[in-house]
């Protein structure tokens, strides 16, 4: 585990209280083979799906902790919300990826962990309002918001990085 996008906190650091608390929330999930495999898929340009999932998990955790919501469930759902193991640009699906992948993520998440109702709701409805079903819990709304925030931050970071590379090659 490393840093979440835009954060200075190294999540692997054992002497950082916040990092330690976050790690406790997602304990057992990060070591799962399926979750580790997310590192082989890219999401939003060059961000790995694992990094994106850590980003969503960490910000969902922070927001829920601040508002005294169930931050553990939010962190776990954030980490598992995109647990699908296919490339959306290659895989042929019967449904749109937007509708299909939350269901696939929930199915895969249930194989590696026992989920509570909040976690199930947050994984299944993280594409809200683009998916069917209204979020049942405030933690679900936080995860959907964190997902969109992180996706935007990942896009912008990649655009800025590619702009810097182009500038460097022009001046070289």
Helix residue spans in the chain (DSSP H): 17-25, 33-37, 49-66, 71-80, 97-112, 117-124, 138-171
Taking CB under 5 A as the criterion, which residues in 130-169 touch Fe ion?
147
Judge whether 42 and 34 are in contact, CB under 8 Å.
Answer: no
Q: Which is nearer to Fe ion, 132 or 165 (CB)?
A: 132
Taking CB under 5 A as the criterion, which residues in 17-46 touch Fe ion?
none
Residue 133 DSSP code:
S
Least distance in angstroms from the C-beta of 126 to Fe ion: 6
Distances (CA, A) of 145 to 78, 84, 112: 11, 20, 25
Q: Which is nearer to Fe ion, 13 or 99 (CB)?
A: 99
Q: Which is nearer to Fe ion, 139 or 147 (CB)?
A: 147
Least distance in angstroms from the C-beta of 152 to Fe ion: 11
Least distance in angstroms from the C-beta of 146 to Fe ion: 9
Nearest to 109 by CA among 136, 73, 150, 76: 76
Q: Which is nearer to Fe ion, 82 or 120 (CB)?
A: 82
Q: Which is nearer to Fe ion, 13 or 86 (CB)?
A: 86
Least distance in angstroms from the C-beta of 18 to Fe ion: 22
Name 48's bridge partners: 42
Size of the site for Fe ion (CB under 5 A): 2
- Four-residue CA torsion sign, 27, 141, 153, 42: positive
Determine the Cα–Cα distance for residues 52 and 165; give it in Å rounded to an integer.
22
Taking CB under 5 A as the criterion, which residues in 46-85 touch Fe ion?
82
Of the chain, the end-to-end C-alpha distance in Å amounts to: 35
Q: Does 121 bind Fe ion (CB under 5 A)?
A: no
Taking CB under 5 A as the criterion, which residues in 82-101 touch Fe ion?
82
Least distance in angstroms from the C-beta of 53 to Fe ion: 7
Contact residues for Fe ion, defined by CB under 5 A = 82, 147
């Amino acid at each position: 585990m490393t840093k979440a996008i835009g954060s200075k906190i190294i999540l692997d650091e054992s002497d950082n209280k916040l990092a330690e608390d976050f790690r406790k929330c997602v304990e057992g999930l990060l070591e799962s083979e399926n979750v580790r495999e997310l590192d082989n898929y890219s999401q939003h340009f060059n961000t790995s799906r694992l990094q994106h999932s850590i980003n969503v998990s960490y910000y969902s955790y922070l927001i829920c902790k601040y508002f005294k919501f169930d931050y553990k469930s939010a962190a776990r759902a954030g980490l598992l919300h995109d647990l699908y193991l296919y490339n959306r640009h290659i895989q042929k699906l019967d449904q749109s990826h937007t509708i299909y992948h939350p269901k696939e993520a929930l199915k895969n998440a249930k194989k590696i962990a026992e989920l509570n109702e909040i976690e199930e709701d947050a994984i299944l409805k993280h594409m809200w309002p683009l998916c069917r079903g209204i979020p049942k819990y405030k933690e679900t709304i936080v995860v959907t918001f964190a997902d969109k925030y992180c996706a935007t931050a990942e896009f912008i970071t990649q655009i800025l990085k590619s702009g810097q590379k182009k500038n460097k090659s022009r001046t070289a």
